[in-house]
Each structure stands twice: as structure tokens, then as C-alpha cells.
Amino acid sequence: MATVLLLGATSDMAVAMARTMAAKGYDIQLAARNSDRLKPLQGDITVRYGVNCTAHEFDATAFATHHDFYYSLTPKPDIVICVFGYMSDNDAACKNWDEASKMINSNYTGAVSILNIVGEDFAERKSGTIVGISSVAGVRGRQSNYIYGSAKAGFTAYLSGLRNKMYHCGVHVVSVLPGFVDTKMTAGLNLPPLLTANTQQVADTVEKAIRKKQNIVYVKWFWKWIMTIIKNIPENVFKKKKL
Amino acid sequence: MAQKTISNWGNYPVMQSDEHCFSFDDQVQKIMEQSEYFIPRGNGRCYGDASLSKETINTLKYDNVISFDTKEGIFECQSGITLDKILEIIVPKGWFLPVTPGTKFITVGGAVGSDVHGKNHHVDGSFSNHIVEMELVLANGSIMVCSPEIHTDLFEATCGGMGLTGLITRVKFRLKKIETSYIKQKQIKAENLDEIIRLFDEYKNSTYSVAWIDCLKKGEHFGRSILILGEHATLSELPEKLKADPLKLPPKKSIPFPFNLPSWVLNSFTVKLFNFLYYGKNFKKEINNVVSYEPFFYPLDAILNWNRGYGKKGFVQYQFVLPLQAKQGLIEILHRISDKGLGSFLAVLKVFGKQESLISFPKEGYTLALDFPVRDGLFDFLDELDQVVLQYGGRLYMSKDARMKPDVLKAGYPRLEEFKRIIHQYNPKGKIRSVQSDRLELTT
Ligand SMILES: Cc1cc2nc3c(=O)[nH]c(=O)nc-3n(C[C@H](O)[C@H](O)[C@H](O)COP(=O)(O)OP(=O)(O)OC[C@H]3O[C@@H](n4cnc5c(N)ncnc54)[C@H](O)[C@@H]3O)c2cc1C
């Protein structure tokens, strides 16, 4: 059976994706910065679904390690899902370069670094699927989170270009824009229930997008319309809003 | 962490709480350390205020399976996994939960915290009866393993202890072997209370038994009910067409119940449903059929959020147990309820087998559960009922409770002082406490 590599596998979304793909029979490779934390999930997936599941150390911001990390994987994955990302307070990040660069590096630079390597390999093998979890925050910069948003915007653009290039080598690329998701990161926030997806819905969306070779997917359909509206607000009006 | 509006299944009471979530072992102690005080929280399926507090530690993201011995039927998991997920794993391998409540949407931590009972209590006891061992993080951050053999005081006080001894992280328990995922069901109509009580006795060897009882009917049909009995169907008992896939999981379907409705809507719905079943042309004295485990154990789970049917103010569920010889008490309580007309139309009646635990609810006798929409005068009325329950030697289920007075708890649970001593030993400064434990003076 084909193998799925999850990058950033300690996040709630990645856990749901790992289980969803394992339930479909895929073997799973879990990768995260703190691989000790992956051990319980690795056991869980093996027991629940009877597939092969391995855990690997991977730091999205340690760019220099990415090549060796990827080439140490056996077997090489057929599907790579890039879930990692990092969000913190925008105002704090404006004053603190370490915070700002951490957001940029995990949401954009790190993703580019590892997916360049994956892309090269997939192109050579002339097969495979790459999934990037980007964000609706990247559609238009807002005062409340434009550092995160701009990094995600970069990532979205990267995925779009990668899809274009990879199409010609038989490799498929999916961009996912989840919107609000009920995770540890958002626990306790009173998110609007109608607009908020749970991690299982995200995982189901991703599984379907892989199966059906979809290009750009939202989890809850109205996000697409909300973002269309937000995109079309004239800048003159937009800049005066407190968003 | 942030402020969130939370309530349990009865939507009463509602409060603001700081909710902490965790997925990894290394996070638990840190969260605890930083918390002023908290209560462990599973899926919030208890009805009242047992898992409410100024801060809550929610286990739902701590839900890994640790091991599953498919030969011996021993299952080990983290405390936040819910029973519906466990069933998906074990049923296809020929195993079932040893004990399950009337909803599959509860966590294993909650199953231990309330020491839940099912329709098989009279043969299999409560959940704690099947635990091999479990692990807790105590109020001081230390980790302790307990079982019926080691640290028995902690074990006993944790089963049914409503989360007050510590946060359960890991539970290992025994499963029940099944040949098929189907239940051989028998439904019998009882004309009145005497008949249903007689039937419970007649069918006491039946593995699963429960009755839906009409609380409002007076006169000769007082206590009319439907007794529902079940056995796990063996392979040879299945109809031919089901034999090809005997351990099939039921399809997932559920209807959301999105709005708060005035409570009479739900009541009139259940009245209609009951009458339909009771008087329906097809309903002879007895019906025998084979059904999937899902409608048999979890008929209400098909309608998600049915609790909203009781309206915005919420409801409380009143569940008590009376000793077997106190049939008169059961009659008196049912009369009072029907005279007052505040309660739901239907109640669930069951017979518990023998159990002698430190603080778990079940003990031998009749247990009755019914819903009361919150309204003026209700709590005074329930205080009166409490006195009748106590007078007949009964007690109330903490997992359903949102309003009982501390004296009622004390009078119903003879080993309460011992329980308190153990809580104070493992949770000396009341770091772990709930709205309920404060109200019941367990942690104050
Ligand atoms: C429709 C319905 C039918 C039901 N039928 C039955 C029935 O037939 N029999 C029965 O016994 N009960 C029944 N119940 C009640 C339910 O099974 C219990 O209240 C159960 O404890 C709920 O578990 P939960 O995971 O939702 O936990 P919560 O409701 O969040 O918590 C329940 C208690 O367990 C404690 N707890 C939860 N997790 C932990 C943990 N990890 N460590 C320590 N303590 C913890 C909490 O502090 C709290 O005291 C029913 C409830 C509903 C809604």
C-alpha cells in the first residue's frame, strides 16, 4: 500500500489526517520536532488500523537537515501532507523579530525548503501527491494577523506554482484553506460554530481532495464565498476597517 | 486556554470556565501546576455540574489506544477516547464493551469517574468491575497506578469518585466476547407496575434488561411499561442475510437537533412514540427480533443534541435507586411525580444487582431515571422527593445531579466519610474540585 508522510504530525489536524488515511489502508510516517510525542499516536495507529506506522524527528525550521531527513525515509512516501505552521500574536511579533521570523520560517520558508526536496523526488518518480495546509488568512492581509497571513500567502502562492510545474510530471498538488478549526490552538475561543470545522472535517476534506485530485479546497464551503467578498472589498474601504 | 461558556448535558447550570486541553503526557502536570483549581472533564455527558469548575482540564484530545489484546480481550487506552470510537475498533474483532451507558458519546475517564452502569448491571456490575488497572496524575503532580490490588484506596475512591482524586490518564480494562454485532431483542408489554416488577424478576437471567415506564398513567394502568431484554446474538441465531458479515458495524447516521425547543414539544413527541409502540397494531404482547447493537444500546444517540428539546433553561435528570423491598417507595414516588406533572412522561426503570462500593451509585434495587425541565418550584419538589428516597433507604446518582443538598448525599452513602478522607489524602488542598463537589461539601 502507498505511504503517507505527515509533516508536523503533533498537531490536532495532523492526528485526524493520520487516522483518516490509516483507516483507508495507507501506511503512515509521522514527522515532528518532538518525535517522543509521536510515540503514543504511532502505537494508536498501529493498533487501530493494523498499518505500518513510523515516527521521525523533523524540524521545519532546521532547513539544513531537510535533505537528510527526507532521504532517510524508507520507503519514500507517495503522499506528503505539510501540516506544520505556527501562529502567535501579531503585535508582539511586530516588536520582536524572533517571533516574526519564527512565523515566517515555519509557515513559509520551512515549507518551501522541504517541499522543494519532495517535489524534485516526485518529479523524478513522475508520481505522487503533495498537500499543503495553508490558510484563509493568506487571502488578504489584516491588521490583526498579517505576519502569519503574509507567510501563508507566500505558501499559497508557492503551492500554486508548484502545482503548475508538477502537473507536467504527473504529480498532483492540493492547497487546503481550512478557515476556523477547533483545535488545541483555538480551544476556549468562542468561535462561531457555523464557520468552525472540526479536525475530522478537515481530514475528510483532505482525503477527498487527494482521491479526487482537487486543486484548492476549503473545508466549509461558505469560506470560499466569504473570502471572495473579502478579496473584493476596495482597498480604500478595507484599510479603514478594524479587521 | 481561554474563557468558554460550558454546561453539561442538562444545559443546567451554565458557567464560564477556563478550559485547558492537552494531547501529550508531558503537558498534564504543567497545566495542573499552573491551575489554581480545576476538575477533569470528558465529553460533558453527565447531566449536572460534576464536570464544571472555574477551570477544567478537557481530555478529549488525549485519546490514543495503547494496546488491544485481541486474544484475551484486554483494551488499554488514554482517558479521553470515547466509547463510540472504541466500539469501531473492538466490534469487528469480536469484542464488546463490558458495560455501556445509554450513550456511546462518553469518555473512558468519564466511565470511571461516574463508574457507569448499563442494562447488564444485574449480571456484570458496573464499569469498575472490569478495570485491570489505571493511572492517575494526582493533585500534587505525581503519577500513580492503582487497581483492585494496588493502592486500593485510591482505586475505590476514583471509581464513581467524580474526578476528585486526580486526573485519570490511562485505563486498562477487560472486554466481553461476542460472536456477532447483533442483539437478540425481546420487548414485552406490561400493563402496570406489578407486572413490570414481576417481569424483571422472571427475566433476571437475561443479560440486558431495561424498561420504559409511563409516569403519568393512573388507575389500573399505573406503571404501564415496555420491558426491553437483550442477548448478544450468536452466529447461528442471525438471519441468513446477516451471516456473511456477522461483526458488521452499524452505519453512521444521526440527525442533528439544532434548536432549543420548548419542553412540551419533546414531551409530546415521547408520548406519541410510546403510545405508538404500546398500542401500535403490530405490537403484540411480546416482540422478538434481531437488531444491531446501535439501536438497542443507544436509541437516543441517533438524534444528536436531543437535550436541546428541553428548552433554554435546561433540565435535570433525577435518578435514584431504592432497595428491592422498597417497592412501596417506588409507587409513592411515581404517584408524586404524576400528581405534580413536572416530570417527563417517560422514565427508565432498571433493576441493579448487588454491589458494594465505596462511592459508586449502584446498589441492589430498583433504579428510576427521568427528566425534569428546570422551572420555578422544581427544586423544592425534588427536595421533597429526596426525603422519600432516603426514607426508603435509597440514594441519588451524582452523575445526574445538579441540585441535591449535602445531607442527602451523606444519608444515602454510608461510606461517605471514608471517601472524603481518601480525597483529602490525595487532593489535600482541594486543588481538584467542581461546582458539585463544593455544593456537596466534599471539597470545602
Ligand atoms: C443520553 C445519556 C444516557 C446516559 N445513560 C447512562 C447510563 O445508562 N448509565 C450511567 O451510568 N450513566 C449514564 N449517563 C451518564 C454518563 O454516562 C456519565 O455522566 C459519564 O460519566 C459521562 O462521561 P463524560 O466523558 O461525558 O464525562 P463528563 O460528563 O465530562 O464527566 C463526568 C465525571 O467524570 C469525571 N471525569 C471525566 N474524565 C475524567 C478523567 N480523565 N479523570 C478523572 N475524572 C474524570 C468528571 O470530573 C466528572 O465528575 C448517560 C448520559 C447521557 C447523556
Is pLDDT above 80 for B199?
A: yes
B80 min Cα distance to partner chain A (Å): 13
Residues of chain B with pLDDT > 70, as a percent, come to 96
pLDDT in tens, B22-71: 999 999 999 999 999 999 999 999 999 999 999 999 999 999 999 999 99
Q: How many CB atoms lie within 10 A of CB B335?
A: 14
At B401, phi and psi to the nearest 5? -85, 145
The average confidence (pLDDT) of chain B is: 94
pLDDT of residue A137: 93
pLDDT of residue A3: 98
pLDDT in tens, B141-163: 999 999 999 999 999 999 999 99
CA dihedral for B201, B206, B209, B214, sign (positive or negative): negative
pLDDT of residue B117: 98
Task: Say if domain B65-178 classifies as CATH 3.30.70.260.
Answer: no
Is pLDDT above 80 for B437?
A: yes
- Per-residue pLDDT averaged across A10-33, rounded? 97
pLDDT of residue B444: 87
Is pLDDT above 60 for B1?
A: no
Mutate to test the interface with A, among B14, B15, B64, B95 (most CBs of A within 10 A): B64
Architecture of domain B182-405: 2-Layer Sandwich (3.30)
Strands B346-352 and B208-214: antiparallel
- Residue labelled with grid coordinates 490509516: A22
Residues from chain A that touch B22, judged by Cβ atoms under 8 A, are 184
Residue B281's pLDDT band (cuts 50, 70, 90)? low
A194: nearest CA in chain B?
A: B258
pLDDT in tens, A89-140: 999 999 999 999 999 999 999 999 999 999 999 999 999 999 999 999 999 9
Residues from chain A that touch B87, judged by Cβ atoms under 8 A, are none
A128 min Cα distance to partner chain B (Å): 29
A226: Cβ contacts below 8 Å, ≥ 6 apart: A136, A195
pLDDT of residue B282: 60
Nearest alpha carbon, ligand 1 atom 49: B162
pLDDT of residue B12: 96
pLDDT of residue B340: 86
For chain B, how many residues are written? 444
The average confidence (pLDDT) of chain A is: 94
Residues from chain B that touch A55, judged by Cβ atoms under 8 A, are none
Ligand 1 pocket, Cβ-based, cut-off 6 angstroms: B 8-9, 39-46, 50-51, 59, 79, 101-103, 106-107, 109-110, 113-114, 116-118, 162-163, 167-168, 300, 399
The number of angstroms, rounded, from the C-alpha of A189 to the middle of its chain's C-alpha atoms is 21
Residue A31's pLDDT band (cuts 50, 70, 90)? very high
Is pLDDT above 90 for B302?
A: no
- Per-residue pLDDT averaged across B197-205, rounded? 96
Listed by start position, the domains of chain B span 2-58, 65-178, 182-405
Residue A187 or A217, more confident: A217
Please tell me if residue A41 touches chain B, with a CB cutoff of 8 Å. yes
Residues from chain B that touch A37, judged by Cβ atoms under 8 A, are 23-24, 26
A37, A47, A188: residue with CB nearest B3:
A188
- Full set of structural domains in chain A with CATH: 3-238 (3.40.50.720)
- How far apart, in whole angstroms, are the C-alpha atoms of residue B152 and residue B357? 12
CB B93, CB B74: distance < 8 Å: no
A47, A184, A189: residue with CB nearest B23:
A184
Question: What's the N-to-C CA distance of chain A in angstroms?
Answer: 46
Substitution candidate for ligand 1 out of B114, B158, B212, B257 with most atoms within 8 A of CB: B114
Exposed/middle/buried for residue B423 (C-beta within 10 Å: 0-12, 13-18, 19+): buried
| ipTM value for the complex | 0.91
Q: Relative to the CA of B46, which ligand 1 atom is closest?
A: 19
pLDDT in tens, A158-183: 999 999 999 999 999 999 999 888 88
pLDDT in tens, B228-276: 999 999 999 999 999 999 999 998 877 777 677 776 667 777 777 777 7
pLDDT of residue B341: 81
pLDDT of residue A220: 86
pLDDT of residue B131: 98
The beta strand positions in chain A, using DSSP E, are 3-7, 27-32, 53-57, 79-82, 129-133, 172-177, 180-182, 196-198, 216-218
Could B65 and A12 be called an inter-chain contact, meaning their C-beta atoms sit closer than 8 Å? no
Rg (alpha carbons) of chain B, rounded to whole number = 21
- Per-residue pLDDT averaged across B338-353, rounded? 88
Rounded to two decimals, the pTM is 0.95
- How far apart, in whole angstroms, are the C-alpha atoms of residue B440 and residue B444? 8
